[in-house]
């Protein structure tokens, strides 16, 4: 019997991590390390579902992602941090689950339907892309996770996993718990252009950006589009820079900026400079840790290898139970 409930989540290594990743996931993961038994993995096989034509880039981002995780505060002494492809049992469980998962369950997946329409520069008409929720289910139930930390838009992903686990248990006996979606609170972080922060839009502030780069990017941020001149009153409620002030500036500064903007007592350039300074200050501890791990590539690789060995030990036990349940010998 585990003393703590277990959670599992992962990220695809398709590019450098940015502030959206930090506030959308990493900060929550760090806070969960003490109350939960945490398994966090780099989903390199998942990345192949859409980036199969350029696998070398995926490999190149693995170590960088782990460095960002460690810099944000994930601790290999508290959490199991591992690489999906170093635990081949994921592929075996995926195979078994694919045998029992109805195709209509996958075709109705909202993410699948949305991405087929939105991503028009890649051929996504592959079995791997259609079946990625099955691999995702294998990732989660392999470790008998009690919960998966997600935003509200990702709840359907967890529900498919619950359905697959329920179907397996119905056919072969109770092996897997049905994981719950753990809704996480996230700060509102948009990109420089007020769209979702994404490397695809070239509108992101990355965790690896230096202070000079951060300052230059903040200077490009869109503010109140109706404020044409310095003497025009602004509306902080529609200003992306002010949203960042809410996160990175202290309450007194934020209140002052709000008042000054509405009464044309501060210009957008000065407002951005103040926010950039506070953002850089807030990121300083992360940048310090990042420099530490960046200078020790062997240590980063050892953390990945050690965490993957720990994860695989759990995965082997699960697969022994799975094979016994479906009466397949190892």
pLDDT digits (tens, 9 = 90+) for 134-149: 999 999 999 999 999 9
Per-residue pLDDT at 1 exceeds 70: no
Equal fold, 6-189+297-326 vs 209-290: no
Question: Rounded to a whole number, what is the distance in angstroms from the first to the last CA of the chain?
Answer: 26
293: enclosing H helix or E strand:
helix 268-294
DSSP 22: I
Residue with tokens 């060995």: 309
Percentage of residues in the chain having pLDDT higher than 90: 81
79-83 vs 147-150, strand pairing mode: unpaired
Per-residue pLDDT at 50 exceeds 90: no
CATH among 3.40.50.620, 1.10.357.10, 3.40.50.1980, 3.30.365.10 for 6-189+297-326: 3.40.50.620
Structure tokens at 38: 């945490």
Per-residue pLDDT at 113 exceeds 60: no
Check if the beta carbon of residue 168 is closer than 8 Å to that of residue 100.
yes
pLDDT digits (tens, 9 = 90+) for 274-288: 999 999 999 999 999
Please indicate whether residue 131 or residue 298 has the higher confidence score (pLDDT): 298
Does domain 209-290 sit in CATH 3.90.1150.10?
no
What pLDDT was estimated at residue 115? 65
Average pLDDT over residues 282-308: 98
Per-residue pLDDT at 109 exceeds 80: no
pLDDT digits (tens, 9 = 90+) for 232-257: 999 999 999 999 999 999 999 999 99
pLDDT band with cut points at 50, 70 and 90 for residue 118: low
What pLDDT was estimated at residue 68? 98
**Residue ranges covered by each domain of the chain:** 6-189+297-326, 209-290
Mean pLDDT, the chain, whole residue set? 93
Sequence-distant (≥ 6) Cβ neighbours of residue 86 within 8 angstroms = 304, 305, 308, 311, 312
pLDDT band with cut points at 50, 70 and 90 for residue 188: confident
Structure tokens at 113: 């339907």
What pLDDT was estimated at residue 112? 62
CA gap 134, 143 in Å, rounded: 15
Structure tokens at 65: 């992602």
Per-residue pLDDT at 211 exceeds 70: yes
Sequence-distant (≥ 6) Cβ neighbours of residue 94 within 8 angstroms = 131, 134, 135, 138
Question: Beta partners for 7?
Answer: 38, 147
């Amino acid at each position: 019997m585990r003393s703590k409930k277990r959670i599992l989540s992962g990220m695809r290594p398709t590019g450098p991590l940015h502030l959206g990743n930090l506030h959308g996931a990493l900060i929550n993961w760090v806070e969960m390390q003490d109350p939960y038994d945490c398994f966090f993995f780099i989903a390199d096989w998942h990345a192949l579902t859409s980036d199969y034509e350029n696998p070398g880039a995926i490999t190149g981002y693995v170590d960088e992602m782990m460095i960002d995780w460690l810099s944000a505060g994930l601790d290999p002494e508290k959490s199991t941090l591992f690489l999906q492809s170093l635990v081949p049992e994921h592929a075996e469980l995926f195979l078994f689950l694919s045998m029992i998962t109805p195709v209509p369950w996958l075709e109705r997946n909202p993410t699948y339907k949305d991405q087929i329409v939105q991503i028009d520069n890649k051929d996504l008409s592959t079995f791997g892309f259609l079946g990625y929720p099955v691999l995702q289910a294998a990732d989660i139930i392999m470790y008998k996770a009690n919960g998966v930390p997600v935003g509200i838009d990702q709840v359907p992903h967890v529900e498919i996993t619950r359905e697959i686990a329920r179907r397996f248990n119905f056919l072969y006996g109770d092996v897997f718990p049905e994981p719950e979606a753990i809704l996480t609170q996230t700060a509102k972080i948009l990109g420089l252009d007020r769209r979702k922060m994404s490397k695809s839009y070239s509108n992101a502030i990355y965790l690896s950006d230096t202070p000079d780069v951060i300052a230059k990017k903040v200077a490009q941020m869109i503010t109140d589009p109706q404020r044409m001149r310095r003497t025009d009153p602004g509306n902080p409620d529609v200003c992306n820079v002010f949203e960042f002030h809410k996160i990175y500036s202290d309450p007194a500064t934020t209140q002052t900026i709000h008042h000054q903007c509405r009464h044309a007592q501060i210009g957008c350039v000065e407002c951005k400079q103040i926010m950039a300074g506070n953002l850089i200050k807030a990121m300083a501890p992360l940048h310090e840790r990042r420099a530490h791990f960046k200078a020790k590539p062997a240590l980063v690789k050892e953390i990945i290898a050690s965490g993957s060995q720990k994860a695989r030990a759990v995965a082997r036990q699960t697969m022994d139970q799975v094979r016994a349940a479906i009466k397949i010998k190892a």
